Amino acid sequence: MQIIQANNYNVEIGNLMESSFSKLLSEYSDVKKLILVDENTQEHCLSYLITSFDELSDAEVVVLPAGEENKQLGIVGNVWEMLTEYGITRHDLLINLGGGMISDMGGFIASCYKRGFPFVNIPTSLLSMVDASIGGKTGVNLGHFKNQIGVFNNPIALYIDKSFLATLPDHEIKSGYAEMIKHGLIHNAELFDRVMEMMRTNPNEIDVQLLMDCIQVKNSVVTQDPTEKGLRKILNFGHTFGHAIEGHWMERGGMTHGHAVAIGMVMEAKLSELRRMISSQEYDKIENAIIQQYEMPSYSDTDIDAMIALMSNDKKNISETVRTCLLDTIGKCSFDHVIGNAEMKEVFRFFQKN
Ligand SMILES: NC(=O)c1ccc[n+]([C@@H]2O[C@H](COP(=O)([O-])OP(=O)(O)OC[C@H]3O[C@@H](n4cnc5c(N)ncnc54)[C@H](O)[C@@H]3O)[C@@H](O)[C@H]2O)c1
């Protein structure tokens, strides 16, 4: 079992059965336990959890519809009503068993209900293992605007067991790789090369050391700046364009979070090159690596206007100016760069297919 110390909790990486989860459940033996899943993690992950831990045999299970379009306040409201029906108190325990949608929503549900009760994250997607379950950001979307409502609050424990990935579809594995690529691009050029190499050669056999190194990047940034006053903003690299793309695609059949972020990273790398912050060679290396793995979507001029409108409402903006992260080199990122509509349009147009 590998243990990384986070802000007031431990991240344990390894077989869940050998982790401290059982001990934690015994500490909560006298209270109600709730497990939050979505339809897919109910099907693929829940029975393992319930059959492996006797303490969970009488846990209430709350099942949410799967998919980013359901990460909405209305659904959170329904769950809060269920919690009232189950008589949940501030002493009870919520276990989030799922991807980033479940840890974001579950963390928010537990943080606000009766002013907060404890929750544990057991991520089941690659993206949530390397990113979403760590760092205390919880919340929901507001229509197409991503993560507009939420709070910072940490789980009491986080257990990462990569055996859950056995049932994760390939496109979701790919989605998780995008955030791993990001961790390399913003923090460590050698990590970027290792992630790309693994993705090219053996994407489903995720090396534990690589997983750990990506988790360490996220954890070290969020422990230094838990509420995103400065440094933590670098984790948003790829997300200014990425969130607009993801939000815009929500009603066009959807695009995984990671796919949108991957495209967003290419666009923000392009902007870094246009501003002469990175060289053309560096930009070409990034574009070649990412575009081989993630298809650039087609979009019209009307789509560009809609995506620019979404970017104007991004949480990272200050005083109505759009702010983004840009690369200083591969492995180093800076934040709070102001960008105007003309520049956004130039970048979108550059990647527009005829
Ligand atoms: N809080 C943060 O710091 C943070 C960081 C990055 C992303 N996010 C959020 O995380 C979300 C994206 O995370 P995600 O990609 O995990 O999304 P997700 O939770 O929607 O999971 C993706 C899909 O995989 C399925 N799935 C999950 N685990 C499975 C398993 N073991 N077997 C089979 N299917 C499984 C889910 O049901 C879903 O259909 C977005 O909402 C994003 O905004 C949050």
Kindly give the distance from the C-alpha atom of residue 72 to the centroid of ligand 1, in angstroms, as a whole number. 14
Residue 157 Cβ < 6 Å to ligand 1 = no
The count of structural domains within the chain is 2
- Taking the C-alpha atoms of residue 31 and residue 26, their distance in angstroms, rounded to an integer, is 10
Residue 42 Cβ < 6 Å to ligand 1 = no
Kindly give the distance from the C-alpha atom of residue 91 to the centroid of ligand 1, in angstroms, as a whole number. 27
Q: What does the pLDDT read at residue 254?
A: 85
Q: What atom of ligand 1 comes closest to residue 39's alpha carbon? A: 37
Kindly give the distance from the C-alpha atom of residue 123 to the centroid of ligand 1, in angstroms, as a whole number. 8
| Domain limits for position 219 | 170-350
Nearest to 83 by CA among 37, 114, 42, 43: 114
Q: Do residues 330 and 257 both lie within one domain?
A: yes
Q: Do residues 141 and 217 both lie within one domain?
A: no
Q: Residue 125 sits in a domain of what CATH number?
A: 3.40.50.1970
Which pLDDT band holds residue 250 (cuts at 50, 70, 90)? confident
Q: Do residues 74 and 127 both lie within one domain?
A: yes
Q: Do residues 175 and 161 both lie within one domain?
A: no
Phi, psi of 234 (to 5 degrees): -65, -25
Residue 315 has pLDDT above 70, yes or no: no
Kindly give the distance from the C-alpha atom of residue 197 to the centroid of ligand 1, in angstroms, as a whole number. 23
Residue 131 Cβ < 6 Å to ligand 1 = yes
Q: Do residues 180 and 312 both lie within one domain?
A: yes
Domain boundary among 136, 167, 198: 167
Query: CA torsion, points 137, 318, 308, 101, in degrees to nearest 10?
Result: 10
Q: Do residues 204 and 148 both lie within one domain?
A: no
Q: Do residues 210 and 119 both lie within one domain?
A: no
pLDDT, one tens digit per residue, over 186-201 is 999 999 999 999 999 9
Q: What atom of ligand 1 comes closest to residue 125's alpha carbon? A: 28
pLDDT, one tens digit per residue, over 210-244 is 999 999 999 999 999 999 999 999 999 999 999 99
- Taking the C-alpha atoms of residue 295 and residue 310, their distance in angstroms, rounded to an integer, is 21
Nearest to 44 by CA among 118, 130, 102: 102
User: Which residue has tokens 């090369």?
Assistant: 193
Kindly give the distance from the C-alpha atom of residue 146 to the centroid of ligand 1, in angstroms, as a whole number. 14
Residue 326 has pLDDT above 80, yes or no: yes
Domain boundary among 107, 132, 167: 167
> Please, what is the Cα angle at 135 between 174 and 13, to 5 degrees?
65
Residue 252 has pLDDT above 90, yes or no: no
Kindly state the average pLDDT of the residues 252-269.
Answer: 95
- Taking the C-alpha atoms of residue 183 and residue 131, their distance in angstroms, rounded to an integer, is 9
Q: Do residues 174 and 79 both lie within one domain?
A: no
Q: Which residue, judged by its Cα, is nearest atom 37 of ligand 1?
A: 40
Q: Do residues 161 and 175 both lie within one domain?
A: no
Which pLDDT band holds residue 291 (cuts at 50, 70, 90)? very high
Residue 111 Cβ < 6 Å to ligand 1 = no
Domain boundary among 114, 149, 167: 167
Q: Residue 283 sits in a domain of what CATH number?
A: 1.20.1090.10
Residue 102 Cβ < 6 Å to ligand 1 = yes
pTM comes to 0.94
Residue 92 has pLDDT above 70, yes or no: yes
User: Which residue has tokens 């709350």?
Assistant: 62
Residue 109 has pLDDT above 70, yes or no: yes
